[in-house]
Structure 1
């Protein structure tokens, strides 16, 4: 027997007065630091999706990016459930340290095949590489927006580490795509 699912409405009108809810149900102003972090993480996820489209010829990287996009939703759940809430949903939003280990493994795998860096490089290396560099810079912004919540003990350490390591992953993935496509990275030139 099939269960008929109720269709969710896209708009709720509950935020029309400038506030919205955390995962716990607590309402806060939309300009609260939690929602800044969630917005930056969501934007990062969108840029990673855009980069993934451009990297579809690199199936391994495309698969990694898809995994990362799902984990970014997990990071968002963790952010949207501050630890100080002591809410029952905290048990559902814990972030696994093994996700950070995955990123580190992937970084090491890709980096071993790259020429060593001898200079700073500019975001370059073709469209796929450049899009990954954009995602990397958005990732750094997301990290900066989360750091206070992490230092205040409101976000799991592994969720914060994931975002920190993710920018390194995106840098190495950008270099890998450029290298595989035999597109020269642009070296920074000091005047």
Structure 2
């Protein structure tokens, strides 16, 4: 690991810029910084989800691995041109998704986020993941990116949706189906 921060504030960002891992400085509202920040926000939501689970839950290991991947993904965005997320990350997500999806019935309708506190938090992480994907797509329109990072976020949002369904069922909650005419209008 490079330099360690012994002093948290540096004042170098007071001008509205931030440093990338390659030493370059860019605006704090640049699309690349937005991608880094949204990956970090997603990681935080997954951290909250982990804390809602019992300490012996096998799902924690899966979520912690994803947190490490997301930290790597943020690092990838911090070094333009770098590639950290590879096919093996996506393959692992797909295999994990298949495993968790196996035991739940197919959906015949949309569901509303909720069902249990853990399922609701998982849905929140899924929504942030979808935003992260949109941000990365936008970044890809203005700069070169590793397309695997976009693919990873796409699969991860699918996994988080399935895990939310698993958590709701496991906690004895029912999924709340969307009713098209229920809006009262």
Q: TM-score, normalised by structure 1?
A: 0.87
SS in structure 2 at match of 1:124: coil
Q: 1:57 to 1:181 in 2, by over 3 A?
A: farther
Shift of 1:57: 5.4
Equivalent position of 1:71 in the other structure: 69
Q: Trace 1:162-177 onto structure 2 (pairs within 5 A).
A: 162-177=152-167
Say whether the 8 Å CA contact 1:75–1:95 is kept in structure 2. yes
Give a deviation string over 1:111-162, Cα, whole Å, max 9, x none.
Answer: 1100211111000110000000000001111110111323556221212111
Structure-to-structure mapping, 1:90-129, within 5 angstroms: 90=82, 93-129=83-119
Runs of 5+ consecutive residues of structure 1 not aligned to the other structure = 84-89
Which residue does the alignment assign to 2:140? Answer: 150
Aligned alpha-carbon RMSD (Å) = 1.7
Deviations 1:40-99 (A, max 9, x none): 11111111100111123572211111000110011111111122xxxxxx3xx5322111
Count of residues paired in the alignment: 179
Instruction: Report runs of 4+ in structure 1 exceeding 4 Å deviation.
Output: none
The change in CA–CA distance for 1:101 and 1:153 in structure 2 (over 3 A counts) is farther
2:119–2:165: 8 Å Cα contact kept in structure 1?
yes
Separation of aligned partners in 2, 1:21 and 1:11: 13
CA distance in 1, matches of 2:90, 2:58: 18
User: Residue 103 of structure 2: SS of its match in structure 1?
Assistant: coil
- How many Å separate the matches in 1 of 2:56 and 2:114? 17
TM-score normalised per structure 2: 0.90
Secondary structure of the 1:28 match is: strand
Q: For 1:14 and 1:66, how far apart are their aligned partners in 2?
A: 32
Alignment of 1:2-151 (within 5 A): 8-56=6-54, 59-83=57-81, 90=82, 93-151=83-141
